[in-house]
Amino acid sequence: MVAELVQGNEACARAAVDAGCRFYAGYPITPSSEIAERMAAALPPVGGRFVQMEDEIASLGAVLGASLAGLKAMTATSGPGFSLMQEHIGYAAYAEIPCVVVDVMRVGPSTGLPTGPAQGDVMQARWGTHGDHPIVVLAPASVGEVYELTVRAFNLAEGYRTPVIMLYDEVIGHLRERVALPAPGATPVVERARPAGPPEAYRPYAGDHGGVPPLAGFGSGYRFHVTGLAHDERGYPTQDAAAVAALQRRLHAKTEDHRLDLVSYEGLALEDADVAVVAYGISARAARRAVATARARGVRAGLFRPRTLWPFPEEELRDLAGRVDALVVAEMNMGQIVREVERCARNGAAVVPCLRADGQPMTPEEILAHLSPSPHRGRELE
């Protein structure tokens, strides 16, 4: 591998193609537009299709159709477009249609600051669509990690028949770093399971196969029904309470029973920490510098960085909350992941918000100000 200067959004597009994505439908929106531009150029040479749609609702609708036809498919957007996609995200979760949605976050609500970084879509990524639904959300903090987690997003989407959201901020999207990316074909990829039995025996929503039914492509000889209504194993609408309950349990078990495969986080200097910073995306990079400076000043500080925001690494964070005096939550919003941290740290460490929502990145100095020793946050090294 040869190191090269790569932009975050460019790494996302390259990873998608390397992971086998062969269909992209989207609508340009700052700060994600470079992904669409790259996909428009990269897909035709490998036999893929790029379509610019009239809006974000249609974009994800086309992606779902392409996925049902058997292709790995993706779209990318930012906050306002992500809001428009929510109904189709719920449809994909309930109908178990694998796809990848990239949300490069900017300041909101409404039009907000189109070129300003933020981390305000965290709860929308989890609960934006209505009803109880499973979802997987990945949060890279570097250009290299954008590539890695985009490939992982496709692998999880195909392996678990679920929508997967890549959630990163404008700074990570436009950051250029020197990285050595794998050559095409060198990255392990996961393909969705296909039915092997006769078409007449196919049940697209059956509970066997480890809870993830094989998915036939439309036009492959397997005829089946797809709906956003509550449905039985054949895909037909039902109001039978037992069938609906079984469907809900199976859908949620796909993430709950496989959390060890899904949840990923990074820990830095946590072994002897008195105070730990919880941060993700660009805020985590500022936190890394703040932790290093705090350590140099004699404060036992550490960093807990979720790479998977949903499912949330609550077991790991609950364990950490029992070992430190305080958890400083650094994020670029008015307080979203901080609520999850408070839930995990109940009766444990004090939770201290460090928030910024003005379109500027979090700085190491802001986080460092919350790491000075106090009766509630940390102790000086002896």
State the CATH number of the domain containing residue 341: 3.40.50.920
Residue 246 has a CB neighbour count (10 Å cut-off) of 15
**Is 150 within the bounds of a domain?**
yes
Q: Could you tell me if 272 and 381 are in contact, meaning their C-beta atoms sit under 8 angstroms apart? A: no
**pLDDT tens string 52-108:** 999 999 999 999 999 999 999 999 999 999 999 999 999 999 999 999 999 999 999
Q: Could you tell me if 370 and 354 are in contact, meaning their C-beta atoms sit under 8 angstroms apart? A: yes
> To the nearest whole number, what is the mean pLDDT of the chain?
95
Which residues pair with residue 100 across a beta bridge? 74, 164
**Is 185 within the bounds of a domain?**
no
53 by Cβ neighbours in 10 Å (0-12 / 13-18 / 19+) ranks as middle
**Same domain? 212 vs 341:** no
Q: Is 114 helix (H, G, I), strand (E, B) or coil?
A: strand
What's the domain count of the chain?
3
**Is 281 within the bounds of a domain?**
yes
Mean pLDDT of 231-256: 96
**Is 207 within the bounds of a domain?**
yes
**Same domain? 11 vs 125:** yes
**Same domain? 24 vs 147:** yes
**Same domain? 157 vs 25:** yes
Could you tell me the maximum CA-CA distance found in the chain, to the nearest angstrom? Answer: 72
Q: Is the pLDDT of residue 373 over 70?
A: no
Residues spanned by the domain of 324? 266-368
Q: Which of 260, 276, 297 is the last residue of a domain?
A: 260
What pLDDT was estimated at residue 184? 84
Q: Is the pLDDT of residue 381 over 80?
A: no
Q: Could you tell me if 301 and 371 are in contact, meaning their C-beta atoms sit under 8 angstroms apart? A: yes
**Same domain? 213 vs 349:** no
**Is 254 within the bounds of a domain?**
yes
**Same domain? 305 vs 356:** yes
Q: Is the pLDDT of residue 139 over 60?
A: yes
**pLDDT tens string 329-346:** 999 999 999 999 999 999
**Could you tell me which of 156, 167, 171, 145 has the C-alpha nearest to residue 361?**
171
**Same domain? 133 vs 38:** yes
Mean pLDDT of 142-160: 98
**Same domain? 271 vs 169:** no
State the CATH number of the domain containing residue 168: 3.40.50.970
